[in-house]
Amino acid sequence: MKRTVIIAAMEREVQPLVRGWQQMTLSDASRTFVAFESRDSAVVISGIGAKNAGVAARAAVARYQPATLISAGLAGALIRSLKAGSIATPNVVIDAADGMEYRCATETGGVVGGGVLVTAVEIAGADAKAALVDQFHGLIVDMEAAGVAKVAQEMRVAFRCVKAISDEADFVMPPLGMFVDGNGKFLSRRFAAWAALRPWQWARVIALGRNSNKATRALCKWLSGSVTPTEVATLDRAELPNVVPEQR
């Protein structure tokens, strides 16, 4: 039994945290996941996407029987005030695929607490981000949190969510979705080969790498602290004030 289990999409998002932890494998009927274990915690690498995150979370609950599930990783900002390396702990997670909403705990002490995270089905570029703000009043976007939240609710496990901003609201993303396979693995060598032939993309790729590294360090620093379990609840609607339409 582990007190806390963290579900992350990619190993590089949590590498500073799990350095020195014992590496294991975690399997269910259809998949095998890489996991890292410490005395009272575990990190499971799910692959990109809510479906993969949900499968990993379900396998993790069966294996570790945790008190708390945490969806952790890198995310995109939907508002300009969130910069690369900012930590966000939303209290509402919305699945863009079906509109389901989940509640998680917020955190104080120097982080952006509260607000809405939207779990999208694809890597969100600038246009997609604007649409998510209009539709869901979101602050940040990821691709996994709703999958973990759904399993936490079904299995009656406490749920937390912490994300570090790797791409700011106005950042124009390279077409990263082209390089994600069916198991949610990012094909970094193929992406590097693609980028090498497109010098006009180099500045953007370098900036994304720099910001992702900054976000990873901030995320792992936060995860090294203590967390408190909380109940997952389904909301009828996001806890947002009424928004008055802008006059045109």
Domains, the chain = 4-234 (3.40.50.1580)
Q: What whole-number distance in Å separates Cα of residue 213 and Cα of residue 207?
A: 10
Tokens 């095998």 belong to 32
Give the per-residue pLDDT at 241: 40
What is the crossing angle of helices 11-18 and 202-223, to 10°? 40
Task: Give the residue ranges of DSSP H helices in the chain.
Answer: 11-18, 50-64, 126-136, 145-154, 188-196, 202-223
Q: What whole-number distance in Å separates Cα of residue 14 and Cα of residue 18?
A: 6
Label the pairing between strands 87-89 and 158-167. antiparallel
Give the per-residue pLDDT at 30: 82
Q: What is the pTM of this model?
A: 0.87
Which token pair is 193? 């080969």
User: What confidence tens digit (pLDDT) does each residue in 133-178 have?
Assistant: 999 999 999 999 999 999 999 999 989 999 999 999 999 889 898 9
Mean pLDDT of 125-129: 83
Task: Give the residue ranges of DSSP H helices in 100-243.
Answer: 126-136, 145-154, 188-196, 202-223
DSSP 244: P
User: What confidence tens digit (pLDDT) does each residue in 58-68 have?
Assistant: 999 999 999 99
> The dihedral of CA 109, 9, 146, 134: what is its sign?
positive
User: What confidence tens digit (pLDDT) does each residue in 6-23 have?
Assistant: 999 999 999 999 999 999
* C-alpha separations of 16 from 10, 47, 157, 193, 221 in Å: 12, 18, 26, 26, 8
Helix (H, G, I), strand (E, B) or coil at 132: helix
